[in-house]
Amino acid sequence: MSTLHLDAEALYRDLAGGVRGLLQPGAALVGIWSGGAWLAERLQRDLGLAGEPGVITSALHRDDFDKRGMAADAGQTRLPFEVEGRHIVLIDDVLYTGRTTRAVINELFDFGRPASVTLAVLVDRGGRELPIQPAYSAARVTLPPERRLALARNAAGHFSFAIREEGAAP
């Protein structure tokens, strides 16, 4: 079995460069809870953007509510700016089936009509089930379906990747 090593910090530096190129005047960063939100927080600072990034959760628009119910720990959407007419850059840690992105876009539209929505992700692991594409991804990998990939952040704010078997204890 081969082991995959992803250097999250190095990929973050790539992502920052890519996002810089996507920013239009007045654009806002919105991080998808939870990994995307961490990334957006750091990007906001490192890219010298004013104010706070938005945080958005897919919890209220998920398509698997019937199977999974209300998540105990789903975060809350907080968008400290007007969505109407704004260019939004969505940030996420891992893009996989695209369903979370779809749900997040629906959530975003509950707040108003953005001028545009672009997606930038740290890792695109393929396996799309919806027609969703990132404008920028720092890495592309292929993982078997039973492997879960998620961003982790330690107390010092340092990013790393955790790869787990589906269903295994964290």
Partner 1 sequence: MMLPRRNPQLNAHGELVHLLSIEGLPRAVIHQILDTAGTFLSVNDREVKKVPLLRGKSVFNLFFENSTRTRTTFEIAAKRLSADVINLDIARSSTAKGESLLDTIANLSAMHADMFVVRHGESGAPYLIAQHCAPHVHVVNAGDGRHAHPTQGLLDMYTIRHFKQDFTRLTVAIVGDIVHSRVARSDIHALTTLGVPEVRAVGPKTLVPGDLREMGVRVCHDMAEGIRGADVIIMLRLQNERMSGALLPSAGEFFKNYGLTPDKLALAKPDAIVMHPGPINRGVEIDSAVADGRQSVILPQVTFGIAVRMAVMSTIAGNTA
Binding site for partner 1 (CB under 8 A): 59-61, 65-66, 68-70, 72, 74, 76-77, 106, 109-112
Q: In whole angstroms, how close is the CB of 102 to partner 1 at the nearest point?
A: 12
C-beta closer to partner 1: residue 7 or 82? 82
C-beta closer to partner 1: residue 105 or 139? 105
Q: How far apart are CA 6 and CA 93, in angstroms?
A: 12
User: Whose CA is closest to 21, among 133, 102, 135, 98?
Assistant: 135
Q: In whole angstroms, how close is the CB of 147 to partner 1 at the nearest point?
A: 26
| CA 58 to mean position of chain CA atoms | 11
Q: In whole angstroms, how close is the CB of 99 to partner 1 at the nearest point?
A: 14
| Cα dihedral 17→138→77→147 (10° resolution) | -160
Q: In whole angstroms, how close is the CB of 136 to partner 1 at the nearest point?
A: 29
Q: In whole angstroms, how close is the CB of 28 to partner 1 at the nearest point?
A: 17
C-beta closer to partner 1: residue 81 or 111? 111
C-beta closer to partner 1: residue 53 or 134? 53
C-beta closer to partner 1: residue 12 or 33? 33
Q: How far apart are CA 16 and CA 10, in angstroms?
A: 10
Which residues on adjacent β-strands are paired with residue 88? 28, 117
* Residues with Cβ within 8 Å of residue 150, at least 6 apart in sequence: 35, 93, 94, 161, 162, 164
